Amino acid sequence: MVKYTYTHLDEFFVLSQWIEDVKGPFGLRPPPGDWASFKARIQALNDACPPGESVKVIYAARHGQAEHNALADKYGEGAQIKYPTLDPDLTTLGRSQAFETRLALQREIKRGMPVPSKWFVSPFKRAGETCGIEWGFMFSDEYEIDGGNYNGGKGHGVNATVIENIREHLHVHVCDKRCSISQLKSQFTSFNYSKDMIDEDLIWQPIEIRDRETEEELVARRGEGIREILEKSQGDTYISITAHSGTLRGIYKSLNVIPRKLVVGEMNILVIRVKELQES
């Protein structure tokens, strides 16, 4: 198994407040909006990389508000005990948040922002629909905020690969238990699923069987998810990952990025130098 080390190249983006980033070029450092220079610098870094090294640009997004988030906002942290919600969907607000990011992406792409060539997504519905809304315009999806029928179902035609190991932090609450793969395939018809994904969710367990996933377990599992993503994106510089708050915290730790809590609907752009470890 190939292993990797990571270095966060933090000179490219300011990870500031999303309310500001979404209005501009996603925190791109001055001169703001100079995507041509950014792409040229990334290309030059990759050209200079020795064998076994590369630079990746990751569009890391948290899903928009989902039903369990709305319940927590209304009833507090105990909401999922009182109102258990299996693999919750996005709320109307969550779809609006994803749509706001979609508009920001469309605006910046017109200004020269590079686009991903691979998309990866958590198996949960809230992440899948967020990815679809945000990136569907790349796949001829004409999204209407008040609903409609879309190519590729809730995936809006996005050719995303589902990665089990970038699902949310394993909690005892059923909001972190996914639907069956057969159900997901019927709703997200444009997504790609690994043949070894088991139909029923056997990873999530109730509190009677196991406690919440520890932080160490979280980072280890997300590290495995990142490794899988790298294996599936050989030769791709720009990739998209849509997941969850806990997932992204674990991913940031795995990538040696200072962890931060992303608000619902937030997207950060990370530049990472990846180095393959030599097997002894």
The number of beta carbons lying within 10 Å of the beta carbon of residue 208 is 6
- Give the integer Cα–Cα distance in Å for 142 and 149: 10
The phi, psi pair for 6, rounded to 5°, reads: -130, 140
Rounded alpha-carbon distances, angstroms, from residue 137 to 104, 134, 143: 12, 8, 8
Classified as helix, coil or strand, 92 is helix
Taking residues 27-41, report their average pLDDT.
89
Strands (DSSP E) along 105-223, which ranges?
A: 118-121, 160-162
Q: Which residue has the higher pLDDT, 15 or 143?
A: 15
Taking residues 71-77, report their average pLDDT.
82
What percentage of the chain exceeds 90 in pLDDT? 68
What percentage of the chain exceeds 70 in pLDDT? 93
Contact 120, 238 (CB under 8 A): no
Taking residues 89-94, report their average pLDDT.
94
Chain segment 234-277, per-residue pLDDT in tens: 999 999 999 999 899 999 999 999 988 899 999 999 999 999 98
pLDDT of residue 209: 62
- Give the integer Cα–Cα distance in Å for 251 and 82: 30
pLDDT of residue 148: 56
* Annotation: CATH topology of 4-276: Rossmann fold (3.40.50)
- Kindly write down the DSSP assignment for every residue of 222-253, as one continuous string: HHHHHHHHHHHTTT-SEEEEEE-HHHHHHHHH
Element (DSSP H or E) covering residue 54: strand 53-62
pLDDT of residue 12: 95
Q: Could you tell me the pTM of the whole model?
A: 0.93
- For the chain, give every domain's residue range: 4-276
